[in-house]
């Protein structure tokens, strides 16, 4: 039964940068992350990253999936799906497998569709031969 509990998703497993909080540096998490404040640096998440409407991010984000509603200057590296939500503003390049863009989302940069192997190479997670 303990194994079953370890595999379940818990709301406390989501790391969070709350509104009004400013963080600089590097975040690495095996789980999900939500940013509602200000972040400058690199994010590496093996799960989903959600960036709220009033959040600002400068740097690079590497993750499995992402819902983006805020303002970003930097690059996205998304292993699966990036959703750019209405009202967001992105200045940077997208390296993604799938892209979903809502009306009124702003994106200025280049978009490159990648597969899992290319994601691993770009993110530095590829095993060396």
Is the pLDDT at 1 greater than 90? The verdict is no
Is the pLDDT at 23 greater than 70? The verdict is yes
Q: Max CA-CA distance within the chain?
A: 49
Q: What percent of the chain has pLDDT over 90?
A: 83
Main-chain dihedrals φ then ψ at residue 30, nearest 5 degrees: -80, -10
Is the pLDDT at 38 greater than 60? The verdict is yes
- pLDDT band of 58, cuts 50, 70, 90: very high
Domain ranges for the chain: 11-109
Q: How far apart are the C-alpha atoms of 109 and 73, rounded to whole Å?
A: 10
The pLDDT score that the predictor gives to residue 31 is 92
Over residues 4-15, the pLDDT tens digits come to: 444 455 556 789
Is the pLDDT at 70 greater than 50? The verdict is yes
DSSP-assigned letters across all residues of the chain: -HHHHHHS--GGGSEEE-TT-EEEEEEEESS-EEE-SEEEEEEEESSEEEE-TT-EEEEEEEESEEEE-SEEEEEEEEEEEEEE-TT-EEES-EEEEEEEE-TT-EEES-EEE--HHHHHHHHT-SPP-
Is the pLDDT at 126 greater than 80? The verdict is no
The pLDDT score that the predictor gives to residue 11 is 52
Place of tokens 């997670």: 125
* pTM to 2 decimal places: 0.86
The pLDDT score that the predictor gives to residue 9 is 53
């Amino acid at each position: 039964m303990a194994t079953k509990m370890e595999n379940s998703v818990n709301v406390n497993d989501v790391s969070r940068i709350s509104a009004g909080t400013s963080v600089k540096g590097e975040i690495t998490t095996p789980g999900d992350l939500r940013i509602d404040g200000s972040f400058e640096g690199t994010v590496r998440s093996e799960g989903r990253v959600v960036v709220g409407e009033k959040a600002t991010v400068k740097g690079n984000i590497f993750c499995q999936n992402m819902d983006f509603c805020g303002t970003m200057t930097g690059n996205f590296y998304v292993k699966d799906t990036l959703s750019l939500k209405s009202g967001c503003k992105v200045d940077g390049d997208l390296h993604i497998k799938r892209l979903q863009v809502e009306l009124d989302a702003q994106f200025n940069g280049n978009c490159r569709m990648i597969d899992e192997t290319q994601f691993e190479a770009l993110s530095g997670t590829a095993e060396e031969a």
